[in-house]
């Protein structure tokens, strides 16, 4: 499978625990995006990497969230001290290009439930 | 005010109907306009994208962009039950911003 891969697909955690998600983009894609989606809403932008550089981070993202993309390949999204409001689908997308738009392909997402 | 506004529906139509989906936006910097389709518990998949104003057709799907009105549309002709999904508009000036999605059901 050469698409965007996300792991795990589902995660249930207790409030206050830390969680980490992984995204493997399509090979050679230089851009990687993280989005959060709750039921009945569209994906909400979290952050965006071009190669290993984090170019933009949503102001909605609290300090409990951090993302990395070491070596410009896979990316991880960590949520510290999870809260029930963090329950959502976390989507990763990747694309290739330098301009204002490049076609982005999404993974299947990681569904997080905080209990 | 959200950057991208989209009526969440739900929208239910009979098979064969023409479907019209719309979004408005506030950021005049957006240059690229996309429509994604999302099935339940799946990631969004790109249907079409358009640069600046104009129309683009791909089979039964037509995308329209009117930058002067900050308004975009997706038309689906001869709708099929397999078109039942949530349709998301998205816009980009570097990263993408999505609408809330319109849930469409096409009844046989």
The verdict on a CB contact (< 8 Å) between B46 and A103 is yes
Q: Who wins on pLDDT, A6 or B93?
A: A6
- Which of B31, B41, B96 comes nearest A104 by C-beta? B96
Q: Are B22 and B73 in contact (CB under 8 A)?
A: yes
pLDDT in tens, B7-25: 888 999 999 999 999 999 9
How many angstroms separate the Cα of B16 from the Cα of each of A5, B89, B108? 36, 22, 9
What pLDDT is stored for residue B1 in this prediction? 67
- Residues from chain B contacting residue A106 (CB–CB below 8 Å): 36, 43-45
Show which residues on chain B lie within 8 Å of chain A, measured between beta carbons.
Answer: 4, 6, 8, 31-32, 36, 41-46, 49, 51, 88, 90, 92-101
The verdict on a CB contact (< 8 Å) between B88 and A40 is no
Q: How far apart are CA B65 and CA B77, in angstroms?
A: 18
What pLDDT is stored for residue A100 in this prediction? 65
What pLDDT is stored for residue B51 in this prediction? 85
Q: How far apart are CA B87 and CA B103, in angstroms?
A: 6
Q: Who wins on pLDDT, B96 or A86?
A: A86
Paired tokens of A41: 């809403």
Eight-state DSSP code of residue A26: P
pLDDT in tens, A53-63: 998 888 877 89
Closest CA to B99 of B4, B1, B2: B4
Mean pLDDT of all residues in B3-7 = 91
Chain centroid offset of residue B71 CA: 11
What pLDDT is stored for residue A13 in this prediction? 98
Q: How far apart are CA B78 and CA B2, in angstroms?
A: 32
**Confidence bin at B78 (pLDDT 50/70/90):** very high
pLDDT in tens, B21-31: 999 999 898 88
Paired tokens of B105: 């059901």
| Three-class SS of chain B | CCCEEECCCCEEEECCCCEEEEEEECCCCCCEEEEEEECCCCCCEEEEEEECCEEEEECCEEEEEECCCCEEEEEECCCCHHHCEEEEEEEECCCEEECCCEEEEEEC
């Amino acid at each position: 499978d050469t698409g965007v891969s996300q792991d795990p697909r589902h995660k249930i955690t207790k409030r206050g625990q830390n969680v980490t998600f992984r995204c493997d983009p399509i090979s050679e894609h230089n851009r990687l995006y993280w989005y959060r989606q709750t039921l009945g809403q569209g994906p909400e932008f979290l952050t965006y990497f071009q190669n290993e550089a984090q170019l933009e981070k949503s102001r909605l993202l609290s300090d409990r969230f951090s993302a990395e993309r070491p070596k410009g390949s896979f990316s991880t999204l960590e949520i510290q001290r999870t809260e029930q409001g963090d329950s959502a689908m976390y989507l990763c997308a990747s694309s290739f290009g330098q301009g204002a738009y490049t076609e982005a392909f999404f993974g299947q997402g990681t569904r997080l439930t905080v209990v | 005010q959200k950057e991208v506004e989209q009526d969440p529906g739900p929208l239910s139509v009979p098979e064969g109907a023409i479907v019209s989906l719309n979004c408005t936006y506030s950021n005049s910097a957006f240059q690229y306009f996309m429509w994604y389709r999302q099935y339940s518990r799946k990631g969004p998949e790109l249907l079409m994208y358009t640069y600046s104003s104009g129309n683009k057709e791909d089979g039964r799907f037509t995308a329209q962009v009117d930058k002067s009105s900050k308004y975009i549309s997706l038309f689906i002709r001869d709708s099929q039950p397999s078109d039942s999904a949530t349709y998301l508009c998205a816009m980009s000036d570097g990263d993408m911003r999505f609408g809330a999605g319109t849930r469409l059901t096409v009844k046989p």
